[in-house]
Amino acid sequence: MARLLIRFSCKPLPVAVVAILLAIWWVGCRNEPPRPNLILIVVDTLRSDHLSASGYPLETSPHLEQLSSRGTYFERFYSHSAITRPSVATLFTSRFVSGHGITNQGPAGLSRELPFLPEILDRAGYETRAFVTNPQLHPLLGFDRGFDHYEPLFSQDADPVRLKPADLIKLPASEVFAAARESLQRRHRRPFFYYIHLLDPHGPYQPSGEERAKFTDPAYDGVITGSIADFARHAHFRAHPEDLDHFRALYDAEVSSTDRALGEFVDWLDGAGLLADTHLLFTADHGEEFLEHGATGHSVKLYEESIRVPLLWIGPGVPAGRRVDALAGLVDVLPTLLDVLDLPAPDTPLQGRSLRPTWSAEPARRAWRPALLLEGPAKGGRRAEEPPVVRGIVTLTHKVLARGSAAGRPGWQTLEIFDLRTDPEEQNGRTVTPDLGALSPDDKDLVRLYELEVRRALNHGSPGSVPEIELPEEELERLRSLGYLD
Ligand SMILES: [Zn+2]
């Protein structure tokens, strides 16, 4: 009727007709099933293998373990790089570092041209709210785009270009959740998206008395307090292993207090009936090192302790109690959300893929993804003409790490190959030079696979697109036969 009236009459519509049309429109809107809500919890600096939910022998995460029975837990999940800003940029844009250009320090903000999860949800009618403890995600850098409300829970004096340790206030998880809870208590007329970024396991380690007592040795009388200064005591830790143990115990206590706050928050959500039609994601932006590869903290390394993080996904249609060991990473979160929330893909290509096939069937793991790209800024890698990057790939069995990469170029100077089955701590890599020398066919495949993944990323193509790579037909055929090529 509306079309007829508009087509045949240019006169103003009578008030009664307008009212009827509005009523029809309103009823039509009401009949559309509302989209599920989304709560995304990101814990800064949470390495997966220090969670009892991932098999850690100390009980650091009983609540996460309990929660995992309600959703799907990803056991081979990666943050791609070990630094907050590029990692969260990858989470929200489904682009690797070479695709979004965000390094760490410096003035570079997110390009408005990039697809951005909060903005996509905002345009889809979601109420979008963020509670963010890390000044690396300062609104001035564009991380607040698409949020109706972006609450920075860090020093208001924080300069995003020159951040100082004092800018980390480290509001405890319980207080961050309390702020989110207060907001959630309001009646939501639209589906909501809450992004909650916690900071407890990030240094300095300052666990509460109760958690400290649970994980540290009461007889310890050494010099370590968990302060920022402790992170530089590498030589000291080598000389006094008990101090490193204490340092690690303080980290575990921070993980445990985060887990306890998570448990209380989920209990509250359950009590308020807010989880019935909600996707709840629990993940991390990167891990933390305890001298496994010569340092403490986190920076540019791509070893497992620095980039392997948890992902628990609870939500409508997501199997309960399933554990998935397919290769997946933060780059996949946005495409998966578009899939499960039934939202259209943005015009610009995403570099991740929907995780739904990994939980909806028993996929051939290699066929789903033979290799996952790792990519982060190199030391001091600020946005410049050709900033150095660190790159690698992880497969179901191996890791390949490159040295001497530039952001826009696929080349490398040396590669190091680790067999994760026999060397899970990545201590005995085999070094490869570009001449490939007397490399075994299997190692040669890994080198080619690394090159394929880098070229795909630099092409900004979808994971299934044909990469631009010149290889002899027999080598291409071999990669195809191994499931590495479509
Ligand atoms: Zn971080």
Question: Which pLDDT score, from 0 to 100, does residue 362 have?
Answer: 64
Cα(406) to ligand 1 centroid in Å equals: 23
Count of other CB atoms within 10 angstroms of residue 373: 24
409, part of any domain: yes
Question: Which pLDDT score, from 0 to 100, does residue 10 have?
Answer: 40
Contact 372, 353 (CB under 8 A): no
Count of other CB atoms within 10 angstroms of residue 366: 16
Cα(249) to ligand 1 centroid in Å equals: 19
Beta bridge partners of 281: 40, 313
Distance (Å) of CA 16 to CA 19, 20, 448? 5, 6, 69
Cα(136) to ligand 1 centroid in Å equals: 8
Mean pLDDT by 10 residues, the chain (486 residues): 34 56 51 86 98 97 98 96 94 92 72 92 97 91 94 83 77 96 89 97 94 96 94 93 97 98 98 96 97 92 96 96 94 97 92 92 67 84 57 95 77 91 96 86 92 86 47 67 60
192, part of any domain: yes
Cα(283) to ligand 1 centroid in Å equals: 12
Q: Domain end: 307, 329, 363, which one?
A: 363
Question: Which pLDDT score, from 0 to 100, does residue 122 have?
Answer: 97
Cα(197) to ligand 1 centroid in Å equals: 9
User: 459 and 394 share a domain?
Assistant: yes
pTM, rounded to two decimals: 0.89
Cα(360) to ligand 1 centroid in Å equals: 31
Cα(203) to ligand 1 centroid in Å equals: 10
CATH number, domain of 356, equals 3.40.720.10
Q: Please count the structural domains in the chain.
A: 3
Beta bridge partners of 131: 151, 196
Tokens of 342: 């039934």
Question: Which pLDDT score, from 0 to 100, does residue 11 have?
Answer: 46
Question: Which pLDDT score, from 0 to 100, does residue 386 have?
Answer: 53
Q: 420 exposed, middle or buried (CB, 10 Å; 0-12, 13-18, 19+)?
A: middle
Tokens of 188: 């939501």
Dist. CA 88–CA 86, nearest whole Å = 6
Contact 478, 446 (CB under 8 A): no
Contact 292, 303 (CB under 8 A): yes
Cα(429) to ligand 1 centroid in Å equals: 27
Residues 6+ apart with CB under 8 A from 152: 132, 135, 138, 139, 158
Cα(44) to ligand 1 centroid in Å equals: 4
Question: Which pLDDT score, from 0 to 100, does residue 106 have?
Answer: 61
421, part of any domain: yes
Domain that holds residue 22: 2-31
Cα(302) to ligand 1 centroid in Å equals: 14
Tokens of 279: 């996707």
Dist. CA 20–CA 332, nearest whole Å = 44
User: 402 and 442 share a domain?
Assistant: yes
Cα(232) to ligand 1 centroid in Å equals: 18
Contact 137, 84 (CB under 8 A): yes
User: 24 and 96 share a domain?
Assistant: no
Q: Domain end: 363, 386, 415, which one?
A: 363
User: 219 and 86 share a domain?
Assistant: yes
For the chain, the residue count is 486
User: 207 and 147 share a domain?
Assistant: yes
Q: Which residues surround ligand 1, an ion (CB under 5 A)?
A: 44, 84, 285
Cα(83) to ligand 1 centroid in Å equals: 5
Beta bridge partners of 289: 297
User: 195 and 284 share a domain?
Assistant: yes
Distance (Å) of CA 194 to CA 67, 74, 121, 150, 176? 18, 21, 11, 10, 12
User: 409 and 332 share a domain?
Assistant: no
Question: Which pLDDT score, from 0 to 100, does residue 470 have?
Answer: 57
Q: Domain end: 339, 363, 387, which one?
A: 363
Cα(425) to ligand 1 centroid in Å equals: 22
Half-sphere exposure of 182 (CA within 13 A, CB side): 8
Residue the block writes with tokens 């100390």: 58
Half-sphere exposure of 23 (CA within 13 A, CB side): 6
User: 217 and 305 share a domain?
Assistant: yes
Dist. CA 285–CA 280, nearest whole Å = 16
486, part of any domain: no
